[in-house]
Structure 1
Amino acid sequence: MSSATTTTRLRPALRVGRASWRVHPRAVWCAAVTTLLMAALLVVDLAYGDLNIPFTDVVRALLGDTSGVNAFIVRDVRLPEASVALLAGLALGLSGALIQTIARNPLASPDVIGVNAGAAAGAVGYIVLFAAADTGAPSGVGADLAIPLAAFGGALAATALLYAAGWRGGLDGRRLVLVGIGIAAALTACTSWLLVAARLQTAASAQVWLSGSLSGVTSGNAWWLLLVVAVVAPCALWQGSALNIVELGDDTAHALGVRPSRAQAIALLCAVLLAAVAVSAVGPIGFVAFVCPQIARRLVGTSRPPLLTSALAGAVLVLAADVITRLWLTGLAVGVVTSLVGAPYFIYLLIRTRRTQS
């Protein structure tokens, strides 16, 4: 009787080579439902705008139909923006889940540890120092490939500084967050100084990017995002099994053949690359990387944020924010909507964490 009961309680495992993942049935259902919701929001996002398009025409256009005005609007006008929203949400959600797992802290995210601040400093520095000098003011900030590259470089530089200052024989979650807060504050001050020193028109263009706006994104931004996400996201998901073992403790991880510092460093690099490419494409969309992993963890019922569900939840949140701005809040940046959702949840989590510690 006891052996049968024990067998029924064992979770199935997915094995690929030497790596294995425990399959959580509730996580599978949550991921499937979130995927369906993401697909529905993508269709809605493509259907509504200045000209409303029937859902059937949107689906036909996505399946390859290129005839007619509706197909042109869906594929060439709206699809780049919707694709960037989906991919940026995936990247931010997965990045937040990785960082919260490494730091073992639900309050950690790329917003907190300085990745977003580094990307913002890099992009604003390019706009103020180079783009403004060439053209007077950058036209179509999101369409200029140099600005995403500058933001990407700024995020990587901030991470290198974070790693150098936070490494003490390994990555400690509390030290990582504290050092990251200091780096983020310093980089935010640099960004503010650049905005004050810039001309009014240039500062206004940079402020649009800083608000996390999808306006002006092109297919080039979508392909840039897709390339990095397609390469980095599988590596990040592959590290899930190693992170599960690291949670058991350093001694247990070493006994099972996993080096905790190496696994954490690879996961942190993946998280930074994902956050950097998302922020470089659309600007710092606030609270997505912070809120979505915690929502996914509560939906699935696991001890740490599930990586796949967190990524899908990020895509759902950004797409939903884009739909809201398209239907009811025209002209408002997507980052403003996500901040309106994430800020109250952040306060709630702070209060709950304090009560738990007490």
Structure 2
Amino acid sequence: MKKVLITGAAGFLGSHLCDRFIKEGFYVIAMDNLITGDLKNIEHLFPLENFEFQHHDVSKFIHIPGKLDYILHFASPASPIDYLKIPIQTLKVGALGTHNLLGVAKEKNARILVASTSEVYGDPLVHPQTEEYYGNVSPVGPRGVYDEAKRFMESITMAYHRFHGIETRIVRIFNTYGPRMRLNDGRVVPAFMGQALRGEDLTVFGDGKQTRSFCYIDDQVEGIYRLLMSDYSYPVNIGNPHETTIGEFAEEIIKLTGTEQKVIYKPLPTDDPMQRQPDITKAKELLGWEPQVSRSEGLKIVFDYFKSLTPEELQDKEHRDFSK
């Protein structure tokens, strides 16, 4: 049985990856320090013999006994609310955490895939974004703690590939949505749906003309799995190329939820990117991958998921300890 270590395993994307690798017959070691993850996302896997959970911070020394075939590094805050509250931890997991896991990959002769992001492109001057574009990023702005952590992650991963010869894969993830997202994490889909279901007006930052491209979780996981199993070591965009403005998307959510709220506008946060649209030519050519789930289909699934939450969960009063 092949063995895979998945970090950030109790998070939104990490938990869905755990499901996929269990389905594929792997022995899954799930690792998370639970600073933004939630055990509820993976508790259904605990009874399985080929699943184990380790409560651990990857920024600290990592020891995995025995053989290890694959590593997927998805440990990182992924939403603006989180990484602006815990900037030091965000930088550490991108730098120290990645360094530690590359060391494990070298020791175990394991293939490692690291989760980068479209944020490496910053507020792009090239549209749509190709993997060859170097980006337009402010290293000293508030979002720099996340953007530069991911850019460093890519650099050190390629350094280990070139210098130590380890097998590396880099996925650049664009906006992804699906069940298990947290309502309070500041990302567009859960933020809009939470407001709609609570009877609140939908908040759009800026004039609503900035664009995003939303990829359903099943498509994202499929792309990641195919990239891991490929022989390509350089970054690959995995995202849905169908672009929409945030203003149009807010109206789409209002129509989907059948609510009568209006859209209100607030100032745009510093360094918030105006355009996001992946060029997925490489994913199509190298992986034979492109999204299969339409936005209307995916949003209906997510809406049903959020509707199933209890009133307490919908209010999302949870307070997380970011002091450590």
Return the TM-score normalized by structure 2: 0.26
| Higher Rg | 1
- Report which of the two has the higher share of helix: 1
- Report which of the two has the higher share of strand: 2
User: Relative contact order (C-alpha < 8 Å, sep 6+): which is higher?
Assistant: 1
